[in-house]
Amino acid sequence: MSIKNKPIADLKELQETLIACPHIQEVHFTSKGLHYFNKYELDDEDGNKRYFGYLNTSLEVYKIVGERKYFKLKSIENPKTEIVETLSRKQILALKVADEPISKKDQKLVDQLSAENESLKAELEALKSKSA
């Protein structure tokens, strides 16, 4: 399975983050294309290593003294963040960001907001000239 053929959530932002943070050398991906910069290792019942982008925790009693219980945090798996592939910084920066066509509805909204922005700029300039 290769994540390169699946959509990566926010690829452009991920590439910008990697450019801004040269210390990040690997990015870990879930089957849904979500990415994590750290991975956490857990052993399953069979002793196989599994990796996760995020672990859940639970309280576990580790000692009872009289009526007092002492607890510790235990890391448990978070199936939604199971790592299926790891790509290097170089591989991610080499991926091409797909151009998504903008819908007519969205384009109309962009045009409307641009017109409002120009109108507000003109009002601001008018107010500046009055106060000067």
Those residues whose C-beta lies under 8 Å from the C-beta of residue 108, and which sit 6 or more positions away, are none
pLDDT digits (tens, 9 = 90+) for 15-72: 999 999 999 999 998 888 888 999 888 888 888 888 888 788 888 888 889 999 999 9
Distance CA 53, CA 34 (A): 9
Encoded amino acid at 18, one letter: L
The domain segmentation of the chain, as residue ranges, is 3-100, 101-132
- pLDDT at residue 5 is higher than 80: no
Burial class from Cβ neighbours inside 10 Å (0-12, 13-18, 19+) for residue 3 reads buried
36's CB contacts (< 8 A; 6+ apart) are 27, 28, 29, 30, 53, 54, 81, 83
Are 77 and 52 in contact by the 8 Å Cβ rule? The answer is: yes
pLDDT tens profile 79-100 = 888 998 899 999 989 887 766 6
